[in-house]
Amino acid sequence: MTDEKMKNSDFYKFFVEELKDLYWAENALLKDLPKMESAATSKELAESFSKHAEETRQHINRLEKIFEHLGEKAEGVKCEAMEGILKEGKSIIEDTTKDTMTRDAGLVLAAQKVEHYEIATYGTLKVFAAHMGQKEVEMLLAETLDNEKATNGTLTGLAERFINKQAVSE
């Protein structure tokens, strides 16, 4: 399939729309991570959110490289899924008591919902890129996918190591 024919295909257009959705999602997450960081009780969880904010900036930069590589404008289209997940995260902060591990357990839950959404989306778009022969795009998406999986693992580790145990005993 020629590049021109591919760019006119419904599949390619769908792919680009999903990239725009993801671009919006990453930018929205970047705005909310400092709130999650300041709401965290444990220093370790707060540091995890701070680190993830830096990584999210890299994710946004990679998406911008992908748009550039494809000859598309880097723009976001509102992601209803991420908006809902982030809204739920805000309600967890509102519904839990400040300076408790219960709040941290809730924040881990909220953050892992974000990570699982991102893992599913980056993973699927990586496969789409592979099927279209977009090796550079596939590589960039794979890099972010690996990062999202690592972040999810960090959150699981914090929860299992001490947050959940301390939350249960509050």
Residues sharing a CB contact under 8 Å with residue 6, sequence separation 6 or more, in sequence order: 12, 132
pTM for this model (two decimals): 0.95
**Mean pLDDT of the residues in the chain:** 97
110-to-5, 107, 129 alpha-carbon distances in Å: 41, 5, 29
pLDDT (0 to 100) of residue 18 = 98
pLDDT (0 to 100) of residue 3 = 78
What would the pLDDT profile of 5-30 be if each residue is shown by its tens digit? 888 899 999 999 999 999 999 999 99
What residue type is 35 in one-letter code? K
Q: Report the candidate in 104, 131, 108, 128 with the shortest Cα–Cα distance to residue 40.
A: 104
DSSP conformation class of 159: I
In which band, very low, low, confident or very high, does the pLDDT at 141 lie, cut at 50, 70 and 90?
A: very high
- Taking a C-beta distance cutoff of 8 angstroms, is the pair 87, 28 a contact? no
Distance CA 142, CA 132 (A): 15
Distance CA 154, CA 30 (A): 18
Domains in the chain, please, with CATH?
3-168 (1.20.1260.10)
What would the pLDDT profile of 83-140 be if each residue is shown by its tens digit? 999 999 999 999 999 999 999 999 999 999 999 999 999 999 999 999 999 999 999 9
In Å, how far from its chain's centre is CA 84? 13
| Helical spans, DSSP H, in 40-163 | 43-70, 80-95, 101-131, 135-158
In Å, how far from its chain's centre is CA 75? 17
Q: Report the candidate in 119, 104, 93 with the shortest Cα–Cα distance to residue 32.
A: 93
